[in-house]
């Protein structure tokens, strides 16, 4: 367990097939040449896609008075993430994996659903985690092409098309929510993002992975040039 339980909410429910852990070091972190690595990645990603459904659904329940257009975006994201989860499960099972074969962690859900404001949740889930995911997916596509693995390429490309939109609508709505909330909303967002970053470091530690920033994808997702430069500058080394 982490030393700062105030930074996290409870885990989402999982059935008896799954072993849930709280720290990255407790996961099965296979070496790149281990034959189980790809199957474990698909299993881990499947659970993260389910987390995305749960986070959007939780925000729909927690913020019933949010603008209708924003609620529709979050509902659409639930649908998108559900399709992604099924796609990851199918490829995992095709390659010999099974649900519950590896440990899972629900750190994104536990961090994001602990945040009290919708703008904060959109900023961390979509503008931060999913924006970094754009870079990771593009890197995955490039790696899969080099490895001549068309199944992974197809999976990532289908996922990427949806994720760009998830980041874009959050970019648009965070700005609108901050404009409506004024200075207090801006302060709250900065505080919550800092707390989420602290929570991530506690559960992930050295397991946080960084990928080359994809300028084109981030522009398409609504980031400004200065925001893209800031993302690139935040990568260690």
Query: pLDDT value at position 237?
Result: 66
Angstrom distance (rounded) from CA 141 to CA 152 = 7
Domains of the chain by residue range: 5-233
Mean pLDDT for each 10-residue chunk of the chain (237 residues)? Answer: 83 97 95 94 97 98 98 98 97 97 97 97 96 94 96 96 96 96 95 95 86 94 94 83
Q: What is the pLDDT of residue 17?
A: 96
Domain 5-233: CATH architecture, name and number where available: Up-down Bundle (1.20)
Return the residue matching tokens 């500058």. 233
Which helix (H) or strand (E) element contains residue 175? helix 150-204
Buried b (16+ CB within 10 A) or exposed e, 129-167: bbbbbbbbbbbbbeebeeeeeeebbebbeebbebbbbbb
The residue behind tokens 């899969």 is 144
Cβ-based neighbours of 40, under 8 Å, separated by 6 or more: 28, 30, 97, 101, 102
């Amino acid at each position: 367990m982490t030393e700062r339980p105030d930074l996290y909410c409870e885990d989402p429910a999982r059935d008896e097939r799954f072993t849930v852990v709280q720290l990255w070091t407790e996961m099965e972190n296979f070496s790149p040449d281990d034959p189980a690595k790809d199957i474990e990645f698909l299993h881990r990603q499947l659970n993260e896609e389910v987390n995305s459904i749960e986070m959007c659904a939780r925000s729909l329940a927690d913020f019933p008075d949010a603008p209708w257009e924003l609620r529709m975006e979050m509902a659409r994201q639930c649908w998108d993430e559900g399709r992604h989860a099924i796609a990851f499960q199918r490829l995992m099972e095709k390659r010999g994996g099974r649900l519950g074969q590896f440990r899972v962690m629900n750190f994104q859900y536990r961090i994001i659903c602990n945040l009290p404001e919708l703008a904060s949740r959109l900023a961390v889930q979509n503008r931060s985690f999913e924006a970094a995911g754009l870079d990771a997916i593009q890197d995955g596509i490039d790696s899969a092409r080099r490895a001549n693995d068309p199944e992974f390429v197809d999976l990532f490309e289908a996922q990427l098309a949806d994720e760009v939109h998830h980041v874009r609508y959050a970019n648009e709505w965070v700005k609108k929510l901050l404009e409506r909330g004024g200075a207090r909303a801006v302060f709250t967002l900065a505080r919550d993002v800092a707390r989420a970053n602290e929570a991530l470091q506690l559960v992930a530690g050295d397991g946080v992975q960084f990928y080359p920033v994809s300028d084109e994808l981030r522009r398409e997702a609504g980031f400004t040039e200065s925001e893209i430069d800031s993302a690139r500058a935040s990568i260690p080394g």
